[in-house]
Chains A and B, each alone.
Chain A
């Protein structure tokens, strides 16, 4: 195992560029809460090379711009829980953060790490995607911002190039009249998600207002675009089953250690129906 410890973003990007040029994999490391699970027994993982970001202080702060909340790559769930303005303006971030593990994980786990680790069960990702977040990727060649909804390309795969570092997550502040987050696990605390869903609707009367994002029901956290289209069309849904044809196209759950495909499908339809029953009586 080799640990590289840059002090600045520029230095981190140079290290990534050099590794990429030499064909080496350098894995960025933030809070380590995914990596270190059962660490002593994972000797193969020890062999890798890591880019320890913990000394890059410029990545830590959470910053409010006029039009967006910008989470640094080292901003933790706990940082967001403690920021009262988040609960007021982007309440789903607060709701999701409080349901990741407990404080011991919230204080170490980062939003950017959750995105980069690319688990389909990632708890921080659905709410960010439902808020139209963008992922800022920096390399020694420059910076680009990719919509989070276009970030994943498949199971544990993303558009991030090996020479790029996630430096920030930009969450635009827009007026929304529906915002719901549900996580279904075996119990409230310390549970990994069986099915999760984040729902938002932009206020106003334009098209393309709904965002329906689910985790643990597809190879990646996924936007349910058919369900979004159905809702944007103004259709009235009169039962949980009314979502199933659209969901059939949007999600592809599997049987695994935590749940079954059938359970996930059924509960996903019910989560949507009952969430909207509570939040938006014009739809259901």
Chain B
């Protein structure tokens, strides 16, 4: 079982390494969106510090949204997806492998680039640390929930727009608690554990239910 999981993850990582643009576009999209705000809002320290949590999280949501469409699309169009459905392996494991690879390529880079954003928005070192941790727990949830939408809208015309309409509302809890954690970290003496517990709870829920829902969605879409 673990062998299969590793095989799928390595396959998707190899494919991404041969086609680097897909990975880089997500990251640059995130950087550009985040950098546009200071230009529009003004460079006043307090304002920036105030809007930073929301801006970073909304940018992360949009960036992960942008990458979602490609999660199953290329496998669908060249027929490898239907071959995956026909393998004697549990589809949920294959889905989980694909989502993990997708997160490593699109979610993890956002976590790693977060300190740069922190500098740009005059965040304290603690707040930046909290932001990284919140992104580390939150972005996998985005990939997992997004996978359900990507599976359901596979092969539809204008699927990209439909995907955003379906999935963005489901991202709201992550947005609230993710940016809430960063905002709270700016207040001295505030307790952050509740935010992280809730984010981790979302992650566990998504880890269990998303592969099942995604697998069902894929079966419907391929038919």
Q: A and B, one complex?
A: no
Instruction: Please give the residue numbers on chain A whose beta carbons come within 8 Å of chain B beta carbons, in ascending order.
Output: none
Show the binding face of B for A, using Cβ within 8 Å.
none
